[in-house]
Structure 1
Amino acid sequence: MKIIFVLLVTLSLYSNDILTNYRINGINDIAKQMDLELTKKEYWDKYIKDKDTTFGYLESYPNILTCNKENSTLNLYTKDTNSTYEFKKEYSAYTGKIKGDKIKEGDLKTPIGIYQITKKLSRENKLDSFYGPLAFVTSYPNTYDKYRGKNGHGIWIHGLPTEQERDEFTKGCIAINNSNIECLDKRIDIDGTLLIINSNEVHKGVSKETLASILSQLYAWRYSWLFDDIKGYLNFYSNDFIRFDGMNFYGFKKYKTRVFKKVEKKTIIFNNINVLPYPNSENVYQITFKEFYKSDTFEFTGDKTLVIKLDETNSMKILTEK
């Protein structure tokens, strides 16, 4: 409440209308106005104007690893004191024996996509010596992979055999030499590191115009959700939408219509937002954030993933979510 009061005092310096509205209608009406302001592209244009959008809009990841499969390289970028992604190191890498994007178990391809590092394995975890001194486990298959019907597992960044011979390719993993995997381990925190894999160079210099548009639409989606506008809410979903659990758009529409009819007071807060263009996919973006949701009957705090596509009018359409 103290924070809101300070904010209101600050806003009153610029707008007597806001203060008058608070006097007459109370804090809920002011909060609704501020929620509406977050849906405006002008706010986001100004907010991200000086942000580094080399790889997208990123709040959660001080380290970015990019893998160029064509050049067989793994590059590390780290945010400096100015919050700018600075190139740190290039590692020579082995990738899958077969070119192209991984589709299924055993196809010997390295996937193309955006992945978190979920775990570090080492000799202390009884890691097989074939994988060198340590390995980083990735989140393949991710939400978008599953939406597109991909399968398989066990895509790692790992070292080279310490006791065996090996070929100059992998079954789908990314392998770098042992001194480099140990160097990488010292340079990154796995919770703050994102891996982007592409068939060639990972796209850099993402348009601030596009990112501001996506962020404003993300908050317009939230606004519809917050204030029970079922028509506006569903308009953000593609007819080809499939939720992580297999529910299609029409089942989702029926489910959400029932939920919205409760007209409950809700709190919905997004933190740690990340928006990145998806490799080798035209106008497709991955959005992740930490969501806090609370209503009269349900409460949730956790990670949320949306995969969206911009249509011909640059309108956001959600393909899948988890």
Structure 2
Amino acid sequence: MKKTLLALVTSVVLAALASAPAFAASHGKKKQRKAAAQAQHQPAPVRDGEAEARLIEIYRLIGAAQSRQALAKAEKLVRDHPNFQLAQLAYGDLLNAQSRPVRAFGDVPDSVAKTGAQMLTELREESQLRMRALRERPPAGAIPAQFLQLSPRNRHAIAVDASRARLYLFENTAQGLKLLADYYISVGKLGIEKSVEGDLRTPLGVYFVTSNLDPKSLKDFYGAGALPINYPNPYDAKRGKTGSGIWLHGTPPNQFSRSPKATDGCVVLANPDLLRIIRTVEVRTTPVVIAQNLRWVAQTHADPEGKRFADTLQAWRAAKGTGDVSRVLGFYTPDFSGNGKTLAEWTPVLKGELDRARGRNVQLKDLSYLRWTDSADTMVVTFGELVEGARTGATKRQYWVRQGTQWKIFFEGVIG
């Protein structure tokens, strides 16, 4: 095999594998499970991340100049996943390399390159993004900076890094967030930062899974299922953003994965990966952060602004316990909206809450808050509000915005 192809993958793959022992260990366990299944004369189940792990192993073998082994594994991969176009392309390169030098990844005849130029470009980009995600692993124990505090009710969390075409799935444990898995994803045809209906872009922000759609009710286009999210959220609505129907969903039967920018605005995963997420996360309580670039921080990282916000939130709680309407209203923006009510229309609702509390302390149970910063600095806060002595209370969600040195509420609503 010519040096040109080796140079394409050697430095990237070997550096990636050296910095990703968890990935390699996971892949090894999958191979052991697969061998055990074959020993019982049963086909190995299709597992999340399995096809990508096998593709990366093929790249590794190419980088190590073990073309025969790579070819054998590529042949088996395309047999197991005939709709995995990127694997087909790698297999074609390996076949070509047996008879002639391979000039570049996806070295197809010139006539094919002309007619399929766009697809070839997309497959090359997909390959580069998959390998970049392997090479640039999140620091051990780090989490996205948006996750300031999650309650035990947030059993899982999702973060999407659009620049890396990657979705990260976390479990919320007693020791903090634990990265369970990460997957290649596709976003909108025209990229990110959705603003209006039909702009073919994926929204950026903090969202929540709102439902789990039965795949039997969906067209084949959506694959193994769909998890809608709450776009537009109140912050989106405040900025005049429109549109709907943003889902995490799968791929049609003839496509294992889609190109990095291929959707109408949804986040799309390979079906085995989506099924893992569907089986894992919970509706309504699972946050989904979609960012252009995720910033990873240590879980013990102290965010000074997060501490200031936490103090402000507790001051709001204490003010509610006093029963003083004017004092509580000082925490709200003039353009506040509460389930369609203006601040003036919502004030009687607030007064009614304070009258029923009769000056008793207000407790915030299962408190979580996530920070989102773009043109403004915002917090998405969810909690159960319980008046001292009461057995039950409402579950609320608030959106706060930083105005200078102060935090103010611009949306509040009951969600349960």
TM-score, length basis structure 2: 0.56
Determine helix, strand or coil for the equivalent of 1:310.
strand
Distance 1:307 1:252 in 2: 15
| CA displacement, residues 198-245 of structure 1 (integer Å, 9 cap, x when unaligned) | 122256456443333222221211221221223321221123323331
Report deviation, 1:155: 0.9
* Counterpart residue type for residue 386 of structure 2: F
Q: Which amino acid aligns with 2:229?
A: T
Q: Distance in 2 between matches of 1:277 and 1:263?
A: 30
Q: Give the Cα separation in 2 of the matches to 1:121 and 1:256.
A: 36
1:287 aligned partner:
381
Does residue 201 of the first structure (1) align with residue 301 of the second (2)? no
Match of 1:264 in 2: 358
Q: Return the alpha-carbon distance in structure 2 between the equivalents of residues 271 and 201 of structure 1.
A: 28
**1: distance between equivalents of 2:371 and 2:336?**
18
Letter in 2 for 1:194: P
Deviation sequence 1:220-276 (CA, Å, 0-9, x none): 1122122122332122112332333141x3444576568768993456332111111
SS at match of 2:207: strand
* Match 1:148 to one of 214, 239, 244: 239
The amino acid that maps onto 1:68 is D
Moved more, 234-243 or 93-102: 234-243
1:318 aligns with 2:374: no
Residue 187 of structure 2 contacts residue 263 of structure 2 at CA under 8 Å; is this kept in 1? yes
User: Per-residue displacement from partner, 1:259-309 (whole Å, max 9, x unpaired)?
Assistant: 76899345633211111111435421111112235999xx98332111112
Indicate whether 1:276 and 2:370 are aligned.
yes
Aligned length: 265
Matches of 1:108 and 1:223, distance apart in 2: 45
Map residues 66-215 of structure 1 onto 2, 5 A cutoff: 66-80=159-173, 82-124=174-216, 126-162=217-253, 168=259, 169-202=262-295, 204-205=297-298, 207-215=302-310
Provide closer, same or farther for how the CA distance between residues 119 and 252 of structure 1 changes in structure 2, counting only shifts above 3 A: closer
Contact 2:227–2:248, Cα closer than 8 Å, also in 1: yes
Counterparts of 1:183 and 1:257 in 2: how far apart (Å)? 46
> Structure 1 residues 112, 202: CA separation in 2 closer, same or farther (over 3 Å shift)?
farther
Higher helix proportion (structure 1 or 2):
2
Whole-angstrom distance in 1 between the partners of 2:247 and 2:349:
37
Q: Distance in 2 between matches of 1:241 and 1:295?
A: 30
CA contact (8 A) 1:284 1:308 kept: yes
Question: How far is the alpha carbon of 1:163 from its aligned partner?
Answer: 5.2
Match 2:157 to one of 49, 64, 80: 64
Q: Extract unaligned runs of 5+ from structure 1.
A: 1-51
Distance 1:258 1:226 in 2: 13
Note the alpha carbon deviations across 1:167-196, whole angstroms, 9 max, x for none. Answer: 631111000111211222334334552110
- Alpha-carbon deviations, 1:125-178, whole Å to 9, x = none? x22110001111212222222222222211111110115899631111000111
Is 1:308–1:318's contact at 8 Å kept on the other side of the alignment?
A: yes
Partners in 1 of 2:346 and 2:183 — Cα distance?
44
RMSD, aligned CA = 3.1
Does the 8 A contact of 1:310 with 1:317 survive in 2?
yes
Which runs of 5 or more structure 2 residues have no equivalent in the other structure?
1-142
